[in-house]
Chains A and B, each alone.
Chain A
Amino acid sequence: MLGNAAIARGAYEAGCKVSAAYPGTPSTEISENLVNYPEIYCEWSPNEKVACEVAIGASMSGVRSMCSMKHVGLNVASDPLYTASYIGVNGGMVLVVADDPGLYSSQNEQDTRMIGRASMTPVIEPSDSQEAKDYIKLAFELSEKYDTPIIMRTTTRLGHSQGLVTLEDRVEPADKPYERNAAKNVMMPGMAKQRHIYVEKRLKQMSEDANTMAINRVEKGDNKIGFITSGIAYQYVKEVCPDASVLKLGLVHPLPKKLIKDFAASVEKLYIFEELEPVIEEQVKALGIECIGKEAFTVQGEYSANMLRKVLFGTEPKVKAEEVPARPPILCPGCPHRSVYTALKTLKIHAAGDIGCYTLGAVAPLNVVDTAVCMGSSISTLHGMEKAKGREFIKDWVAVIGDSTFLHTGVNSLMNMVYNKATGTVMILDNSTTGMTGHQDHAATGKTLMGEPTYAIDIYNLCKSMGIDNVVEVDSYDQEALTKVIKEEVNREAVSVIICKAPCALLKGLKFPNVCKPLSDKCKKCGACLRPGCPALTKNEDGTVSIDMTMCNGCGLCMQMCKFGAIEKVAR
């Protein structure tokens, strides 16, 4: 079972009733698997803050609830989390937060345990699929026992690895009654002051109890060398030193101080082996215990058994990697984003970018996207540039943002542009789905996570309703129309929105009846068709072009690039 599937299963077995999430690698499959359990109401919320608040509300009402997100999603959900930590829970509440050491699909490498510490929320961390299932069940129990939300921290390697899992039945905890309790549930200064006292007490108690919790376990072995470790890093220790003494921490915040002291005293040399930040290490050192941590192991990227071998034994694999050209991710053949970027490139326009597949517009051969910070940032960074350097400066700029990202947090930034008299141009790349994470529905697709038809928010009218006069819809594949509209709107002295419409080329159920075919007798070997970088096209030895029929979806971009009519669209 995939780690993320095991998390969904654990939530089911624990009697969880409500789950809310926004898709984000490597957490997306949790919600996609929850759909298999009709006992749980689950939804895609527009962003992680909303998802977290949905879970808080469900917990307050008296049922077990959860929300899941990737690490940077927790930044968005931090606002509710920090205060939910004060409020505590009625029904148990768990946040599953997936870190991405090695940045397989993220914009940074932050460590969720630091947010757990800062928000005074307990954090547990499983090390394989079986524990992922067991720990989330335990998390609900701890949540109710200590009156606190619990963060379960996972990593890409855990969520996207499969291992054996033993299934159990679902327990149905009775719904707790809702009782009005303003002192606990309304966080005004006077009440919050009292709750802060409770939060401190709670952490102290939990830290004490952690010394005897079964998920913090000592595996006695050779006393020459000992490891304190947790999560996936534990597996690397077991791989390399199956006979060493290990203190495996399941609860990584707060830490069991006595257990750590006793363990440290029982071994001659102590290593702290944890991915990303020295969260455990710094606390162990603060206890006055000598140990080796980040001076030997990096804070960057994913760990591995070979890396541990290198530090312990100085061994490295004999074989060296061959020198080969890199293969970075690229936009798919027939991707509508490629067409939009080609138009921007032709017009020599810079794009303030955002988070999604379309961030790939930053690299060769498109090189259109200049910036990318976080979800929704394209619109506000463009606005900041205009306010800093004036309207002339952004005359050859646009903001580009996907439909799902626009609804996530871009919409607030657009409100800001209207309110603060901006004149920039926003292009919403509407491909009718959340693309990069693998096609999740959102508030404008007309379908819920549970597969029910629902009202689809109309992005055009949403923008209009903000008071933007110039909202234009254009076919993402139509170079002529794109070029004309972009030129008009960037020159306009008012906010404008261009909605580029065409579904993601990988969206299920789409049919592509046509393919593009090169006509070598008309080809002038100019290479114009190759410029957008479609992977279906390759240059032949003689300078003409071949098109891979299995990849091509007949989008016609290469055909529009050719001035000599040397590419035609034919039936597949």
Chain B
Amino acid sequence: METKNIMIVGVGGQGTLLTSRILGSIMLTAGYDVKLSEVHGMAQRGGSVVTFVRYGEKVAEPIVEEGQADVLIAFERLEAMRYVQYLKEDGVLIVNDQRIDPMPVVTGAAQYPENIIENLSKKYKVYSIDAQSEALKMGNPKVFNIIVLGMAAKHMNFKKEEWLDVIEKTVPPKTIDINKQAFIKGFDF
């Protein structure tokens, strides 16, 4: 099997680490060699963050580079646009339809681009969801990232039950049910 490349991008604090750990552990359970690369430290403070997950028979490099991602999961629209060139030609972009203004936009030094999802859809295979609203409807705005993961999971070769199993083992015990519900919401969207 050729090595598969997945990227998770978002804004520091959106929970990219938890999502990548769920991804990493489902691949491990399936017996693949897995490498994961994370961002810690100052970059986490509201900045643009990237996590790479690679799996296959034998993985050398821990990072995904331009033109290589099979699946790009973006927790925010602008971040989807920032990293879309990492997608393969036939790669899939899963994007959470949320806007978080970066500081240059807040201070008026830059404009937040309009119609990001529409424009990206012209060139790439894009699936979008307003996971924030869906999560709010479920009563816990924090699980939006698991909804997005559920949506992305459809484009990877693992069964729904395998995902739910891994979620049960990875998230804090008190939040297992809500996270499972969130995953199913995204998976069946």
Chain A residues close to B by CB (< 8 Å): 2, 25-26, 28-29, 104-105, 128, 157, 160-164, 232, 235-236, 238-239, 242, 304-306, 317-322, 324-332, 357, 359-360, 363-365, 436-438, 530, 533, 535, 538-539, 550
Chain B residues close to A by CB (< 8 Å): 11-13, 24, 28, 33-48, 59-63, 65-67, 78-79, 81-82, 84-85, 87, 100-107, 109-113, 141
Are B84 and A161 neighbours in the complex by a CB distance under 8 Å?
Answer: no
Minimum distance in angstroms from A363 CB to a CB of chain B: 8
Are B43 and A329 neighbours in the complex by a CB distance under 8 Å?
Answer: yes
Measured CB to CB, the nearest residue on chain A to B46 is A330
> Can you pick out 12 interface pairs between chain A and chain B where the beta carbons lie within 8 Å of each other?
A26-B40, A128-B35, A157-B37, A157-B63, A162-B34, A238-B60, A325-B110, A329-B46, A330-B45, A360-B42, A365-B107, A530-B106
Chain A facing B: main interface SS: loop
Among A232, A317, A327, point to the contact of B47 (Cβ < 8 A).
A327
Are B107 and A318 neighbours in the complex by a CB distance under 8 Å?
Answer: no
Are A436 and B85 neighbours in the complex by a CB distance under 8 Å?
Answer: no
Measured CB to CB, the nearest residue on chain B to A163 is B35
Q: If the complex has contacts A163-B62, A317-B67, A321-B85, are A326 and B102 also in contact, measured as CB distance less than 8 A?
A: yes
In the assembled complex, the Cα of A326 lies from the Cα of B46 at a distance in Å of: 12
Contacts of A317 in B (CB 8 A): 65-67, 85
Minimum distance in angstroms from B62 CB to a CB of chain A: 4
Are B47 and A162 neighbours in the complex by a CB distance under 8 Å?
Answer: no
In the assembled complex, the Cα of A220 lies from the Cα of B39 at a distance in Å of: 35
Are B42 and A25 neighbours in the complex by a CB distance under 8 Å?
Answer: yes
Are A330 and B65 neighbours in the complex by a CB distance under 8 Å?
Answer: no
Measured CB to CB, the nearest residue on chain A to B48 is A327
Are A164 and B33 neighbours in the complex by a CB distance under 8 Å?
Answer: yes
Are A533 and B106 neighbours in the complex by a CB distance under 8 Å?
Answer: yes
Are B62 and A235 neighbours in the complex by a CB distance under 8 Å?
Answer: yes
Minimum distance in angstroms from B178 CB to a CB of chain A: 15
In the assembled complex, the Cα of A68 lies from the Cα of B109 at a distance in Å of: 41
Are A157 and B62 neighbours in the complex by a CB distance under 8 Å?
Answer: yes
Measured CB to CB, the nearest residue on chain A to B12 is A329
In the assembled complex, the Cα of A329 lies from the Cα of B111 at a distance in Å of: 18
Minimum distance in angstroms from A1 CB to a CB of chain B: 10
Q: If the complex has contacts A104-B43, A239-B60, are A325 and B65 also in contact, measured as CB distance less than 8 A?
A: no
List 4 tightest A-B contacts by C-beta distance, closest first: A105-B41, A25-B41, A329-B47, A325-B110
Measured CB to CB, the nearest residue on chain A to B106 is A533
Contacts of B48 in A (CB 8 A): 326-327
Q: If the complex has contacts A105-B43, A162-B24, A239-B60, are A318 and B67 also in contact, measured as CB distance less than 8 A?
A: yes
Contacts of A235 in B (CB 8 A): 60-62
Are A305 and B38 neighbours in the complex by a CB distance under 8 Å?
Answer: no
